[in-house]
Amino acid sequence: MPLTVIVIGCEHSQGLSKKDDRPYNFAQVNYLGANDGWKSDKGACEAVGLKLKQIAMSPNPSLVAEFKKLADQFPLQAELHLDVDPDNPSRNIVVDIKPLQG
């Protein structure tokens, strides 16, 4: 089932770590989601509006290219299609984006 959100962009990082030159390659989608605030025994935050949220994305070059094609359209409402993260089966990652016509 896709996640329908207001996408504001993505980030793709690739290179070698400063510490030990180990390669890295990861990406994430930035989107607006409900600001749910928080509540604990010692306090609470009553939030109104939206806040920046992030979800991991496949660093596949073709998916990164799809986001680049949409660069001048952000923010846009879109369906983010999810699949199991092959590096961490307990979480999902974005594997496709489908803009919705407003």
Question: Residue 38 in contact with residue 45, Cβ under 8 Å?
Answer: yes
Instruction: Quote the pTM value.
Output: 0.87
Report how far apart the first and last C-alpha atoms of the chain are (Å, whole number). Answer: 20
Contact criterion met (CB below 8 Å) for 17 and 24: yes
Task: Work out the average pLDDT over 8-35.
Answer: 96
| Per-residue pLDDT tens over the stretch 38-63 | 999 999 999 999 999 999 999 999 99
CA distances to 50, 74, 79, 89 from 34, rounded to whole Å, are: 5, 18, 16, 26
Check pLDDT > 70 for residue 102: no
C-alpha angle 53/47/67, rounded to 5°? 20
